[in-house]
Amino acid sequence: MMNEKTEQNTENLINKINEDIKKELSEKRYNHSVGVMKKAEELALIYGLDVNKAKLVGLAHDIGKELTREEKLNYVEKNNIEIDEIEKINVGLLHAKIGADICKKRYGFDEEMQDAIKYHTTGNENMSLLAKIIFVADKIEENRKYEKNESKKQAVEEARKLAKEDLDKAMLYLIDESLIYTIQKKELIHADSIAVRNKLIK
Ligand SMILES: [Fe+2]
Ligand SMILES: [Fe+2]
């Protein structure tokens, strides 16, 4: 159980992250981050997860997203972050690993929280409940409206419904949606997305 002191610490940390991302992210991505925090809180309550962790990770998950390509490459080099073949080409993916590292150093996020940030874009075979909640919340938070794309709009509504009933089903649905999209765009698929999909099906 959370005592009063931990509650106070969490609130202070949420305020700090909120201030930082307000400065470091665009208004659109800031609103998305707050949306993910809210959706992660909602899912944490449904699935019996520590609400504070879910909120903190949800709010901070895209903290590395708006670094330029060059800044991302510099960051991984300076901070000894290993990068794989796909990330070398699709540098944008690195915002997940970078975000986890920033949150460890700035806010003292534990391993589980760091992993949830690392895996929020591609998914991963070894996802905790927290990681799954962040992955799903990222894709279905309230600002994802897709008003100009009827099929995406329907898909996000379906995923929102699934998320309340069965988190793994929602994950599988969202992974499939993103794989289809990636294939249509003729982009590279990260092996972790295939691995997590196979695990969810097995
Ligand atoms: Fe992201
Ligand atoms: Fe995000």
3-state SS string over 111-150? HHHHHHHHCCCCCCCCCCHHHHHHHHHHHHCCCCCCCCCH
Identity of the residue numbered 176: D
Distance 135 CA to ligand 2 centre (A): 8
Check pLDDT > 70 for residue 196. Answer: yes
pLDDT of residue 2: 57
Distance 120 CA to ligand 1 centre (A): 6
Compute CA distances 91 → 31, 104, 107, 183, whole Å: 23, 21, 24, 18
Report residue 5's pLDDT band, with 50, 70 and 90 as the boundaries. confident
Residues 80, 68, 189: CA angle, nearest 5 degrees: 75
8-12, 34-38, 58-62, 83-87: which has the minimum mean pLDDT?
8-12
Domain spans, the chain: 4-201
- Neighbouring C-beta atoms of residue 64, cutoff 10 Å: 23
Buried b (16+ CB within 10 A) or exposed e, 84-120: eebbeebbebbbbbbbbbbbbeebebeeebbbbbbbb
Distance 3 CA to ligand 2 centre (A): 30
pTM for this predicted structure: 0.96
Distance 157 CA to ligand 1 centre (A): 20
4-201 CATH choice from 3.40.50.300, 3.60.20.10, 3.40.50.720, 1.10.3210.10 = 1.10.3210.10
Instruction: Please write the tens of the pLDDT for every residue from 52-111.
Output: 999 999 999 999 999 999 999 999 999 999 999 999 999 999 999 999 999 999 999 999
Ligand with smallest separation from the Cα of 35: 2
Report residue 128's pLDDT band, with 50, 70 and 90 as the boundaries. very high
Ligand with smallest separation from the Cα of 144: 2
Distance 97 CA to ligand 1 centre (A): 10
